[in-house]
Amino acid sequence: MLVPGLQKFTEPYKTFVFQQLSLSGIPFAEVLQYFVKFSQIGVGSVLIFLAYKGNTLNKSLKNKLFYLGNFAIITMMLVATYVHLHPNVPAHIVPIKPPVIPISYIVLVSINLYLNSKQAINN
């Protein structure tokens, strides 16, 4: 999530994000384009931090950050799936018109959540 968030500050992706939001009818596209970028950067940073330094946190905080990050990704990817499928959004402003990337993220997050719950049961 960190790299795609950073990438959205460069052209042509900067323009594509705004166009995707505005053409799909999502309100406040001008403001939400920054929310999308910073949310992806924030969630990516939190998950990278958890991967490397998560053991230094108490278990409660670690779990809250883990679930917050993963459920934020699911929420973002559900919106991305909606945008990809919206008929007003042309194929040239999304990486792949069928929502392969957002659905792949949802599958990976689901696997991540499953493996985490399986590990919690074993501990």
Q: Are 73 and 43 in contact (CB under 8 A)?
A: yes
Compute the 3-state secondary structure of the chain and give helix, strand, coil in percent, each to the nearest 5. Answer: 80, 0, 20
Token pair of 12, please? 């042509």
Walk along the chain (123 residues) and give the pLDDT tens digit of each residue: 888 888 888 998 899 999 999 999 999 999 999 999 999 999 999 999 999 999 999 999 999 999 999 999 999 999 999 999 999 999 999 888 899 999 999 999 999 999 999 988 886
Task: State the pTM of this model.
Answer: 0.89
Query: Angle 59-85/29-53 helices, nearest 10 degrees?
Result: 140
Whole-angstrom Cα distance, residue 38 to residue 44? 10
Report the pLDDT value the prediction gives residue 11, as an integer from 0 to 100.
Answer: 92
